[in-house]
A and B are shown apart, each in its own frame.
Chain A
Amino acid sequence: MSFFSVIEDYQAFDFDAYFQQVSRSEVARVLAREKLEALDFLTLLSPAATEFLEPMAGKAQQLTVQYFGRTIQLFIPLYIANHCANQCAYCGFNRANAIERRKLTLEEIEAEARAIAATGMRHLLVLTGEAREVTPMAYIEAAIRRLKQCFASISIEMFPMQEAEYRRLKTAGVDGLTLYQEVYDRQIYRKVHLAGPKTDYRFRLEAPERGARAGFRAVNIGALVGLGEKRREVFFTGLHARYLDDRYLATEIGVSLPRFNPAEGDFQPRYPASDREFVQFLLALRLFLPRAGITVSTRERAAFRDRLMHLGATRFSAGSCTGVGGYARPDRRQTPQFEISDTRDVAQVAEAIAAQGYRPVYKDWDLIA
């Protein structure tokens, strides 16, 4: 049994027919329930539920404040390499793209760490492309060991790994795993992942579970909103989180809502989501997963993000650079993996959070090993 079998269970499910029959009274009934089942969640994702955004928001806000207080956890990404063997149609690091490829040396990584730490950031997300020959496990381990001198929490967002490899990284100092399925729809997955190890849908799908088994404290999943039919994609994201949450009591399961933004010129997503839809998805996720951390990145515009902390978001990246390095030597910034909309620095984001009546949290963990 893995989440793959859950996906298979829904192969024959007629989502359109389900959405068609959702009535207003059904949405109201779901809103009155305390614990939501899978189809309740789908009801909240339905077009019919778009008329209920305000009551959904009220409940989402109440649940978020109960479980998280009025706080926003901050983190910052660090790309240590952009070499990649994959050909993902939507990604700036696509191997077919003629961009400058770089891999930071351990000394450069330390310089980046110091520059980031100076902003007050204590939670770091470390990223690479997938290129096991150029950036092997030993390199990643060495990088983590350097970085943990400067940070209270280190998460990784890399390629899917074996459980034993996750254990190695946990020993090196990683406490969190972020891994997006990108798109749960298998046909679309095949279409946008043209070559490389990432074409293995199932190995990726089951990686968050391997991470939970390896003992990471936090596992964060998501779908790239826009690639697949959006309501279904958010539905499967929520089910995946619930699946993990039910099985791995020791792991904090979180979700992200990464959405294509118009700044990303080349790739046109087939199912772009409007702000209204985005908010509906965020609210539905909060009501379905009351305790889950929900991340909204700098892909979203500053003014829009500031609203989302009232609606269920609990984690923001800030001051992000999505090219390799870029913190110690801003003059050497490289092609980003994706475009940023919220370009405020850490202090500005923190100020904006405080201005909304929320507290920016820099540190919520310790690497005590």
Chain B
Amino acid sequence: MSKDVLTIGGKVFTNRLFTGTGKFADNRLIAGMLASSGSQMITVALRRVDLSAGGDNILEYIPKSVTLLPNTSGARTAAEAVRIARIAREAGCGNFIKIEVITDTKYLMPDNYETLHATETLAKEGFVVLPYVLPDLPLAKRLENAGAAAVMPLGAPIGSNRGLETASLIALLVENCQVPVVVDAGIGRPSQAAAAMEMGADAVLVNTAIATAQDPVSMGRAFGMAVEAGRMAYLARLAEMSALARASSPLTGFLNE
């Protein structure tokens, strides 16, 4: 059996937990969290990166072996997202980009329309584009056609820790997308991450739940294990669920008596 790997933008990942750099009490925790979780991709908001000399640069805390996924947090339009992506690439952050276009500060819902436009532009410019979206199948197919390297539907509002509230919509993406589906946002517990993987998501992105845990390093490890367990369960083909208890051989058990 071939090794189970995830390929995005020509890069091969053996770990399916993506992480983030926000909300940590101390940037030094980031390296420890990456080590304990095994995460090989981490997203960082360019707005939090201080590229000026002498500044406190968050990038210094991320090992070179981990793929950097700069995000366009703060962008309100496709044009702004495109500009941020270009700045990130010029600043040496690589060509992966998570498009995050948010026009509402209340629920932090991604603007799917602007996100699609930014994806079209950036994919043409050679970026590896991972758009953060509301789970919407027709849109996901459009993103695919536009050259997105993955789609990142939200499970619940960012930072809400509410889990897979959009599970049934994500399931449509999982079933129908050719590109990887990465569940991003809302995952508050390792069990929710495992659930996302069990339903066939290709990866999950978790930030708040790890960063704001009392012990982010241990929580990173817990999420890493949960993602692995969920993936393994998916590959092993879960048994169908049933509302009622079922005896193991109700009809033919008598044959053994």
Contact = CB atoms under 8 A, between A and B. Distances in A.
Contacts of B87: 366, 368
Interface residues of B, number: 31
Residue among B22, B47, B84 facing the most chain A CB atoms (10 A cut-off): B47
Contacts of B54: 120
A363 B103 contact: no
Contacts of A253: 105
Interface string A345-369: 0000000001001110111111010
Nearest to B107: A249
Nearest to A68: B23
B56 A120 contact: yes
B55 A362 contact: yes
A368 B50 contact: no
A4 interface: no
A66 B161 CA distance: 9
B76 interface: yes
B176 interface: no
B26 A291 contact: no
B56 A249 contact: no
Contacts of B56: 120, 362-363
A139 interface: no
B23 A70 contact: yes
B103 A70 contact: no
Contacts of A65: 23, 212
Given A122-B50, A152-B50, A359-B26, A291 B105 contact: yes
A366 B84 CA distance: 9
Contacts of A67: 159
B104 interface: yes
Nearest to B26: A359
B25 A250 contact: no
Contacts of A262: none
A68 B80 CA distance: 24
Contacts of B55: 120, 122, 362-363
A249 B50 contact: no
A94 interface: no
Contacts of A152: 47, 50
A38 B255 CA distance: 69
Contacts of A217: 74
B36 to A, nearest CB: 18
B71 to A, nearest CB: 12
A135 to B, nearest CB: 29
A209 interface: no
A245 interface: yes
B48 A69 contact: no
Nearest to B84: A368
Interface in A43-75: 65-71
B25 A249 contact: no
Contacts of B106: 245, 249, 291
Contacts of A66: 159, 161, 208, 212
A108 interface: no
B47 A366 contact: yes
Interface string A249-279: 1111100000000000000000000000000
B48 A249 contact: no
Given A71-B23, A358-B25, A363 B105 contact: no
Interface of B: 22-27, 46-50, 52, 54-56, 74, 76, 80, 83-84, 87, 103-107, 159, 161, 208, 211-212
Given A291-B106, A363-B56, 7 more contacts: A66-B159, A69-B22, A120-B55, A245-B106, A252-B105, A359-B27, A368-B83
Nearest 6 A-B pairs (CB), nearest first?
A69-B23, A70-B25, A249-B104, A363-B50, A252-B105, A366-B47
16 contacts: A67-B159, A68-B23, A117-B52, A249-B103, A250-B76, A291-B106, A354-B26, A358-B25, A359-B25, A359-B27, A362-B50, A363-B49, A364-B47, A365-B47, A366-B74, A368-B84
